[in-house]
Chain A
Amino acid sequence: MRTVTVVGASLAGLHAARALRSQGFEGHLRIVGAEHHLPYDRPPLTKGYLTGAVTAEHLALTDAQDEAELQPEWLLGARATALDLGERSVVLADGRRLRSDGVVLATGAAAVPLRGTQFLGVHTLRTLEDAASLRAELREGQARVVVVGAGFIGAEVASSCASLGHRVTVVEAGAHPLASQLGEEIGALCAGLHADHGVTLISGVGVAELHGKDGAGSSAGQRVSWVELTDGRQLPADIVVVGIGARPATAWLLDSGLPLSDGVVCDAGGVTEVPQVVAVGDVARSAGRREEHWTHAMAQPAVAVRNLLAGTTVAGYETPPYFWSDQYGARIQFAGRRHAGDTVRLVEGSPSDRSFAAVYEHEGVRTAAVAMNRPRPFAHLRRELGRPAGTVPA
């Protein structure tokens, strides 16, 4: 391979580039990024970056060592609009066609917006620009903030806003916050952190509509004023943050011929139908699963790159999912693949103290582990995943 193009100047894209070099690729390495920034770390955007504890410079993922080792050609602010598999070119918005022997798809995911919301003061949070614009508004004095969605993004944003002294309400359409990620029991425990810190959580109620200051009519240019819930309640709002999930950024691949299904369809090793095209990070649907976690985006590219350089799938990414969330001063950690209906067993600590470690079990097999403010036992549990329950002294 003489030329490899990585599409996506993201955590996954950068780690693909690092893997290419560390695995011996000596050819021309291009990294295409739709954003104008070099790769940066997104997790702090909902936390330290919003509260002001860290600045944009602290988010940089690359350093001088990377420049020296990767020798990349950066194409930033360049949006890929198509992939021509016939001539194996990545096509950019300005018409440039980047012929490549290998292509790494790392375009990630985009935040899902609330339908029909052009009001000023309504935010989603995915990019540095998103976070910068929210941060600027949060600095304009105490505000009534409504967070739509009590997932991890929503919870972390709510926590940051509360710590800045804003009055925060979280609205969750599902009856059980975080149930899909953590199960009902543990999800409810984590959702309890909101109330601990003076944040109101409204569950099982959706958002019907947003309203502007000037009443009905076009929302463009108008500032948001209140949120109407499906049960008729009205929540006054100066700022609305929408955290209702992300969709893989695959629109540019629609005409490529690559199979897409909530992500780029690939095998366990990240290889698509075309062995010279691999998918990494959030955009990859590997062996039927798609992961949106930081650790996956950091570690999975090395496997995909190995397969790309081998010309065929020689390895799969088998590491169980792991993610963490910092909110309200608590650190939540989860690892594994739980199933609906798994039994939850407390291993250490106490939920009421907001400090515990627990495991999920399915038919006698440990499927996952979770902890709040218990990093040590969690590290132990994470290593023991997959062994039959009971073989590990808890």
Chain B
Amino acid sequence: MIPVCRLEDLPLGGSVRLDLDPPITVFHADGGLYAVDDTCTHQDASLSDGWLEGCLIECPLHAASFDLRTGEPQCLPARRPLRTHRVSVEEGTVWLSPAEEPAREKGDAA
């Protein structure tokens, strides 16, 4: 588990990007905290810079949209899901448990 931040430092609508390999971003969206791979599965753009609405995060570059709960793409141009990761809060600290499965190679598909 990786400490992310204090819960009070991650207000609703906010996000924290962790410079891991690959980077992961924790979002505070409607309904709770969600962690997904930070890089859009379509092309190189950081979802931490994206537009958060409900449980959907929209890529800042080409407006691909993903459901933070499942990582599933909601519209083109993205076709592959984001990896999702477990987030927990213990004594006011947000913790991240990165998924075991490897991230897919960049460029596996468009």
Contacts and interface: CB of A to CB of B under 8 A. Distances in A.
A16 B107 CA distance: 22
Contact of B77 (A57, A59, A298, A379): A298
B67 interface: no
Q: Is the interface of B mostly helix, strand, loop or mixed?
A: loop
Nearest to B106: A58
Nearest to A43: B43
A187 B106 CA distance: 33
Interface string A376-392: 10111001000000000
Interface in B23-39: none
Contacts of A62: 110
User: Residue among A15, A294, A375 with the most chain B CB within 10 A?
Assistant: A375
Given A63-B79, A298-B76, A298-B77, A383 B51 contact: yes
Nearest to A48: B44
Nearest to A18: B76
Interface stretch (B4-12, B56-64, B90-98): B56-64
Given A57-B107, A58-B106, A295-B62, A376 B49 contact: yes
Contact of B79 (A65, A376, A379): A65
What range describes how many residues of B lie at the interface? 10 to 19
Interface string B56-93: 00101111000000000000110100000000000000
Contacts of B45: 375
B51 A379 contact: yes
A15 B51 contact: no
A376 B76 contact: no
A60 B60 contact: no
Contact of B110 (A61, A376, A378, A383): A61
A54 B107 contact: yes
B20 interface: no
Interface of A: 15, 18, 41, 54-55, 57-63, 65, 294-295, 298, 324, 331, 333, 375-376, 378-380, 383
21 contacts: A18-B76, A54-B107, A55-B107, A60-B109, A61-B110, A63-B109, A65-B79, A65-B109, A298-B62, A298-B76, A298-B77, A331-B61, A333-B60, A333-B61, A375-B49, A375-B61, A378-B60, A379-B50, A379-B58, A379-B60, A380-B51
Interface of B: 45-46, 49-51, 58, 60-63, 76-77, 79, 106-107, 109-110
